[in-house]
Amino acid sequence: MSSPVRYRVLHETRYDYGSPVSLSQQQLHLSPRILDCQQIEEQRIEVTPPPSWRRDGQDAFGNPVSWIFFNAPHQTLLLRSIMTVAVLPRLPSAEDITDSLPWEEVRDRLAYDSAEPQPIDLEAARFLFESPHVRIKHELAAYAADCFAPETPILVGAQALMAKIFREFTFDPEATTVSTPVLEVLENKRGVCQDFAHLMIACLRALGLSARYVSGYLLTRPPPGKPRLVGADASHAWVAVYAPGSAGDWVDFDPTNNLLPDTEHITIAFGRDFSDISPLRGIILGGGGAEPEVAVTVVPLDEEELPPELELPPDPAAAD
Amino acid sequence: MARTLLAIYPHNARRYDEMLTADGDVRAHWRQFFGHLDAVAPDEMRRRLEFVDRRIQENGVTYNVYADASGSDRPWALDPLPLIIPPDEWTEVAAAVAQRATLLNAILADLYGEQKLLAEGLLPPALVYGQHGYLWPCQGIKPPGGVWLHNYAVDLARSPNGRWWVIADRTQAPSGAGYALENRLVVSRVFPEMFRDLHVQHLADFFRDQLEGLAAHAPVDGDEPPHIVLLTPGPYNETYFEHAYLARYLGFPLVEGQDLTVRGDSVFLKTLRGLKRVHVILRRQDDDYCDPLELRGDSALGIPGLLNVARAGRVVIANALGSGLLGSGALMGFLPAICRRLLGEKLAMPSVATWWCGEKPALDFVKENFDDLVIKPAYPTQRMEPVFGYELEGEARAEMLRRIEARPHAYVAQEMVELSQAPTWSRAHERRLLARPVGLRAYAVASGDGYSVMPGGLARVATGANARIISMQRGGSSKDAWVLTNGPVSEFTLLKPSVGVRDLVRAGANLTSRVVENLFWFGRYSERFDDSARMLRVALARLVEAGGVKTPAVASSMELAELLRILPRPEEDGEIGEGSEHALLEAIYDPEQPGSLAGTIRNLMWSATHVRERLSLDHWHSLNQLQREQQAAHKMHPTLTEAIAFLDRVLGISSSLTGFAMDNMTRDDGWRFLFIGRRLERLTFLAQSIAGFLRMESARAPGCLEWLLELADSIITYRSRYSRLPEMLPVLDLLVFDDSNPHGVIFQANVLARYLERMAKELGEHFDGNLEQALANLRDFDLESLEDVQFVPGRDQAAGEDLAARLDALVFAGNQLSDWLGMRYFTHVGDVSRQTMAL
């Protein structure tokens, strides 16, 4: 068993509004959740200007969420979410994958039959149906069909589906927006991590399987010999598949990179799809143009020197 | 004695008849009423029907089918004969409805709480997690008092064996209770003796229970009184009439999403006098539109942040956000077991047999028995009309089956119900009863202590004798439902005999910024409507007098109309005759032409729609009719004479609108804004017209001063003073400086200044613009300087410039004032919140 990998992450979001915003409310899914494979050592969000009201809580899926409110006119909004996270290895072995349950068995467990369901199946049923970004259409089931031949172990099928999407789709940030429907992505075969995650989820749900959308960060490696550039990363999204009996009952898949996340994926939140856990969703009054600038930096703490921007600010609570 | 009405009343063995037994005898609880009805003379009955129609017209009871500003509201359809229900039977129905409301509330508490119904397999997850109506962000929110379901309606039908069945549950924002109330007010006056003698239970107690129920858990601070508002999606909603009606009856401000604002964890009403905290929102807007921050982000209707107020327990939302999901017909089959589990009781009233296709055995059954079933959407958010299996053939049938197979969980199938029938009064015959299928929509409200059921409800009548569906959208009609009682009748009433002083004060204090803004624009448009009509009539009349020749008077009046942008600016030299005529007609009738009278009528209607509850119905109707006339005429190529007649009518309606506003409206802050709008519009119109006139070379020809006087509606005053042909100096004196002429500039400016002063006193805000300065400057103008000027073509061209410039300054100050009022007091209806998203 290898030891945890520790990261410092900075996720900065900046809005420069064309004209003053008089009222603004924002919902933040920026704080990482605690998982079996993930511990949070420190975490803090700095907001400028300081909000006039704030509430912290948990959403229906157990993710940390915050709401902030501004009623003084402002033309800039800056959020710096900074955290130290330790990620434990979680890569399933080859046997874990080949020995997973046949996919039909999982499907049948999730189907309603008037009996008392297993608690884990009921929990998984939250991620079984349509959601705002995930339509369930027969085209999607058809696309996944060759990966899920009868009796295929569910994780083998999921891995094949991930590989198929990776093979057949082109990463293209210009091709889609946050609201591009999954069927359009399927047709045009282009998109970004979000689109691939939604597509894979939709395929799995179309087969009667549960799949959730995971948001977080991915460690990137600067070219050999080059220093890490602050802000060069982005937030990332991938998929978790319900496979009861495997470790944790859920296994992550990253269709954008065709790999099973291990210690280089840092999880923020999971939900049915992007709409449940969009990092920063707001309603503003006024403001003119409002395209945010987002910069993410992920630094492995024990390997690299920390750029000064990623130093933890003093904890206001510690001063007491 | 005429033969009895029963002689030709159709009997139908397949249906239960509300009035007759299977043997054709009148049921005991109908006997007295039927005897009365059978004895009423045809003339008397005709008078009563006329009363019904008039009352519905006068009260503006409408049901907007495809609502739009052009006024296609349909009058509410009401059959005068009540549906009579005997006391014992009602006791059972009411208990069953109250039980069902209690049960549904308990289900909401469970589904938004611990979800034991799912854990125990009593409800399939698909009907919760698979429904758009399940609002995830509401998970874990516990409303004050544990009441999710405040308002509940249930559609009941009676099967041939006489039993009542539930057809559908309404848990989102049930409509119709207000219509039931209005039906009662009408029908109890059509049959006043019967209403009294039969001991019909009154409805007022039900609404009092609703009031108490809403106030019971209002999260007030200290001993402040609960502030309750009724939230409507707006005038284009199909039941907007009812929203306005109930708001008035219950005494709540009628508000739209834009009227409310969330600050931190409280929600406030934006009023003219600042923010006022709201404790209870009686919601007629669908829940997923209520908070764009966490629910549908694509909607401008909502109140961003409302969910956080609910989380903090700082507002009662009735019904709680997320209640809509129980409107799903798919739930019905699961209710008996859930009722035993949650309430430990048997479900008192059965639901019509319903199969949810999401269960495999049910799906197989539905496919096998397709002809005997009605297919309906499983979820209330789906847009789909019920489909009768036996009506589908060939490809349509195959297509429907394919759709069900592809998404079985999205469909339910229901047994077809033979509705009971009740007598309705035929409007096509002198004296005849028809038998029509009926259903009853019953209502329950959380009363602070369980559920209180309205004794009666909205009886709904199908159009044809064989209909299987009752729908107001499809032209069905309604009835009052009379629940008889053996005991005494409660005499409690919420109706006030008249509006008292306290109400006026309250209305003023609660005036929302949006209402004020709409009243201001209503004022401006009603004056602009008058001004444009007058300007166009001046030009048209000149053109007709001149027999179509473009005389100097025609040319100059048209030039001024162009300057005022009532006529489009000519691109080159305008043509004579046909060209002028065409331009004037377009300026009257073409709503797409900028500045046209038709366009102003459209704007006036738009603002009138938003302040409709403050207008008299007569005006509403005249405006509607006017717009229809204009639309019809636009297609018909009216003659000049017809056009002048139309303008005369416009001016007639305009002066009655003015009279109404002066004589009949409460002098509150809203009224003041309306009049500031009117004065401001007239002031700028007059000042612009006179300044333009002074600068126009063409206006120096003979005959032009006459039309200027006509334009300012001052010709009679002038004649009575000077009894001679108009001359420049006295005309200017009358139209600008005479502070006793209501169509004079100084008069308008003085009145405006007075309103502003009053407003400054009331609201503590002072307009710091240039109006006073501009007015003083104008007063200082020395009229003598124009004494020797020759106002004829080609002479002393620049003579009027000084006065014209002072008038310009006044116009400028007026526009400044308008902007200032907007900035300071209005909601900025155009300035909508936007969603932002960052990854």
Span of B70-79, B659-668, B707-716, B791-800 with lowest mean pLDDT: B70-79
- What local confidence, expressed as pLDDT, does residue B549 receive? 80
- Among the partner-chain residues B137, B264, B833, the one whose CB lies closest to the CB of A283 is B833
pLDDT in tens, B682-701: 999 999 999 999 998 888 88
Could you tell me if the ipTM is greater than 0.90?
yes
Number of CB pairs, chain A paired with chain B, less than 8 A apart: 121
CA angle B777, B778, B780 (to 5 degrees): 65
- Flag whether A316 is in a domain: no
Q: What is the CATH number for A294? A: 2.60.40.2250
Closest CA to B524 of B821, B806, B831: B821
- What local confidence, expressed as pLDDT, does residue B316 receive? 98
B447 touches chain A (CB under 8 A): no
Q: Do B839 and A278 touch (CB under 8 A)?
A: yes
Q: Do B836 and A15 touch (CB under 8 A)?
A: yes
Segments forming the whole domain that contains residue A221: 94-276
Percent of chain B with pLDDT over 90: 54
Mean pLDDT to the nearest integer, B224-234: 92
User: Is the per-residue pLDDT at B475 higher than 70?
Assistant: no
Name the pLDDT band for B21 (thresholds 50, 70, 90). very high
- What local confidence, expressed as pLDDT, does residue B489 receive? 78
pLDDT in tens, A177-210: 888 899 999 999 999 999 999 999 999 999 999 9
B86: closest CA of chain A, how far (Å): 40
Name the pLDDT band for B496 (thresholds 50, 70, 90). low
User: Same domain for A36 and A47?
Assistant: yes
User: Same domain for A67 and A159?
Assistant: no
Mean pLDDT to the nearest integer, A157-168: 97
B322: closest CA of chain A, how far (Å): 14
B169: closest CA of chain A, how far (Å): 23
- What local confidence, expressed as pLDDT, does residue B498 receive? 43
User: Is the per-residue pLDDT at B69 higher than 80?
Assistant: no
B50 three-state secondary structure: helix
User: Is the per-residue pLDDT at B311 higher than 60?
Assistant: yes
Mean pLDDT to the nearest integer, B3-7: 88
- What local confidence, expressed as pLDDT, does residue A230 receive? 82
User: Is the per-residue pLDDT at B425 higher than 80?
Assistant: yes
Span of B120-129, B349-358, B498-507, B736-745 with lowest mean pLDDT: B498-507
Measured N-to-C along each axis, helices B640-664 and B669-695 cross at an angle, to the nearest 10 degrees, of 140
User: Is the per-residue pLDDT at B831 higher than 70?
Assistant: no
- Flag whether A178 is in a domain: yes
Distance of CA A204 to the CA centre of its chain: 17
Q: Cβ(B269)–Cβ(B275) under 8 Å?
A: yes
Q: How far apart are CA B664 and CA B208, in angstroms?
A: 30
Q: How far apart are CA B115 and CA B781, in angstroms?
A: 81
Distance of CA B546 to the CA centre of its chain: 47
User: Same domain for A116 and A254?
Assistant: yes
B833 touches chain A (CB under 8 A): yes
Q: How far apart are CA B87 and CA B84, in angstroms?
A: 10
For residue B124, which residues of chain A lie inside 8 Å, CB to CB?
112
User: Is the per-residue pLDDT at B497 higher than 70?
Assistant: no
A130: closest CA of chain B, how far (Å): 6
A37 touches chain B (CB under 8 A): no
Please give the residue that has the higher pLDDT: either B51 or B618: B51
Span of A100-114, A185-199, B137-151, B788-802 with lowest mean pLDDT: B788-802
Q: What is the CATH number for A108? A: 3.10.620.30
Q: Where are the alpha helices (DSSP H) in B433-576?
A: 501-509, 513-545, 552-563
- What local confidence, expressed as pLDDT, does residue B602 receive? 87
For residue A73, which residues of chain B lie inside 8 Å, CB to CB?
none
Residues with Cβ < 8 Å from B164, sequence gap 6 or more?
B93, B96, B156, B157, B158, B349, B440
- What local confidence, expressed as pLDDT, does residue B818 receive? 87
- Flag whether A319 is in a domain: no
B562 three-state secondary structure: helix
A1: closest CA of chain B, how far (Å): 34
Phi, psi of B177 (to 5 degrees): -65, -35
Dihedral sign from CA coordinates of B412, B416, B421, B425: positive
For the beta carbon of residue B697, count every other beta carbon within 10 angstroms: 12
Q: How far apart are CA A110 and CA A125, in angstroms?
A: 7
User: Same domain for A236 and A299?
Assistant: no
User: Same domain for A125 and A24?
Assistant: no
User: Same domain for A213 and A121?
Assistant: yes
* Amino acid residing at B517: E
- Flag whether A212 is in a domain: yes
Q: Do A290 and B836 touch (CB under 8 A)?
A: yes
For residue B406, which residues of chain A lie inside 8 Å, CB to CB?
138
B143 touches chain A (CB under 8 A): no
- Among the partner-chain residues B130, B137, B839, the one whose CB lies closest to the CB of A60 is B137
Average pLDDT of chain A is 93
The CA–CA distances, whole Å, from A26 to A15, A29, B308, B647, B834 equal: 12, 10, 11, 53, 12
User: Same domain for A54 and A186?
Assistant: no
- What local confidence, expressed as pLDDT, does residue A89 receive? 94
Q: Read off the tokens for B36.
A: 């009365």
Percent of chain A with pLDDT over 70: 97
pLDDT in tens, A22-47: 889 999 999 999 999 999 999 999 99
User: Is the per-residue pLDDT at B288 higher than 80?
Assistant: yes
- What local confidence, expressed as pLDDT, does residue B239 receive? 84
pLDDT in tens, B159-217: 999 999 999 999 999 999 999 999 999 999 999 999 999 999 999 999 999 999 999 99
Name the pLDDT band for B510 (thresholds 50, 70, 90). low
- Flag whether A314 is in a domain: no
pLDDT in tens, B368-422: 999 999 999 888 777 788 888 888 888 999 999 998 988 888 899 999 888 999 9
Q: How far apart are CA B154 and CA B168, in angstroms?
A: 6
Name the pLDDT band for B504 (thresholds 50, 70, 90). very low
- Among the partner-chain residues B297, B308, B407, the one whose CB lies closest to the CB of A67 is B308
- What local confidence, expressed as pLDDT, does residue B67 receive? 39
Q: Residues 88-147, chain A: which have Cβ within 8 Å of B? A: 112, 114-117, 119, 122, 125-126, 128-130, 136, 138
Q: Cβ(A175)–Cβ(A186) under 8 Å?
A: no
DSSP B630-677: HHHHHHH---HHHHHHHHHHHHHHHHHHHHHHHHHS--SHHHHHHHHH
pLDDT in tens, B750-791: 999 998 888 888 887 777 778 889 999 999 998 888 887 777
- Flag whether A206 is in a domain: yes
Strands (E), B306-403: 316-318, 354-356, 373-377, 387-388
User: Same domain for A75 and A104?
Assistant: no
User: Is the per-residue pLDDT at B539 higher than 80?
Assistant: yes
Residue of B nearest to A61 (CA): B136
- Flag whether A317 is in a domain: no
- Flag whether A126 is in a domain: yes
For residue A114, which residues of chain B lie inside 8 Å, CB to CB?
121, 359
Average pLDDT of chain B is 87
Largest Cα–Cα separation, chain B: 102
User: Same domain for A226 and A290?
Assistant: no
User: Same domain for A116 and A139?
Assistant: yes
- Among the partner-chain residues B125, B292, B838, the one whose CB lies closest to the CB of A292 is B838
Name the pLDDT band for A280 (thresholds 50, 70, 90). very high
DSSP B89-146: HHHHHHHHHHHHHHHHHHHHHHHTTT-HHHHTTSS-GGGTTT-TTS-GGGTT---GGG
pLDDT in tens, B567-590: 887 765 544 445 788 888 889 998
For residue B838, which residues of chain A lie inside 8 Å, CB to CB?
13, 15, 279-280, 292, 294
What Rg value do the Cα atoms of chain A yield, rounded? 20
Residues with Cβ < 8 Å from A176, sequence gap 6 or more?
A184, A185, A190, A191, A192, A194, A195
- Among the partner-chain residues A69, A115, A125, the one whose CB lies closest to the CB of B125 is A125
- Containing A286, the helix (H) or strand (E) segment is strand A280-286
Q: Read off the tokens for B291.
A: 């908070």
Q: Cβ(B441)–Cβ(B479) under 8 Å?
A: no
User: Same domain for A76 and A103?
Assistant: no
- What local confidence, expressed as pLDDT, does residue B480 receive? 96
For residue B304, which residues of chain A lie inside 8 Å, CB to CB?
25, 283
Q: How far apart are CA B763 and CA B73, in angstroms?
A: 38
Phi, psi of B516 (to 5 degrees): -60, -45
User: Same domain for A137 and A263?
Assistant: yes
Name the pLDDT band for B501 (thresholds 50, 70, 90). very low
Domain count, chain A: 2
Q: Do B834 and A27 touch (CB under 8 A)?
A: no
